[in-house]
């Protein structure tokens, strides 16, 4: 994995708050806007500079940052559970 996943808060159909508390513009490959809430964002390895655009994958929405963090932690720990 070249880029670490990031938790963001979608504010409206065009704006989000990133993990460093900066407001950013986003767009997706899908024509529909994302619902408000928290999302886990990932980028493929070939992306040189992660941006909140059609190359990003948004998983969510989660009702709170804590829910998104728990889901991300669960995914990170999944391979360890399988090998145990």
Q: Provide the 3-class DSSP secondary structure of residue 15.
A: strand
- CA distance linking residue 7 with residue 11, whole number of Å: 13
- CA distance linking residue 25 with residue 80, whole number of Å: 36
Q: What is the pLDDT of residue 30?
A: 82
User: What are the tokens at 46?
Assistant: 């070939």
User: What are the tokens at 81?
Assistant: 């559970």
User: What are the tokens at 31?
Assistant: 């024509």
With 0.75 as the threshold, say if the pTM is over it: yes
Domain locations along the chain: 6-83
Q: Does residue 61 have a cis bond before it (omega within 30 degrees)?
A: yes
Per-residue pLDDT of 13-59, as tens digits, reads 999 999 999 999 999 988 888 999 999 999 999 999 999 999 999 99
- Give 84 or 61, the one with higher predicted confidence: 61
Give the DSSP letter string of 50-61. Answer: --SSTT-EEEEE
């Amino acid at each position: 994995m070249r880029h670490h996943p990031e938790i963001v808060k979608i504010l409206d159909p065009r704006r989000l708050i990133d993990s460093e508390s900066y407001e950013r513009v986003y767009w997706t490959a899908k024509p529909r806007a994302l619902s408000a809430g928290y999302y886990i964002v990932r980028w493929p390895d070939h992306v040189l500079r992660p941006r909140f655009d059609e190359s990003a994958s948004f998983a969510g929405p989660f009702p709170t940052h804590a829910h998104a963090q728990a889901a991300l932690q669960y995914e990170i720990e999944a391979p360890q559970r399988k090998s145990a």
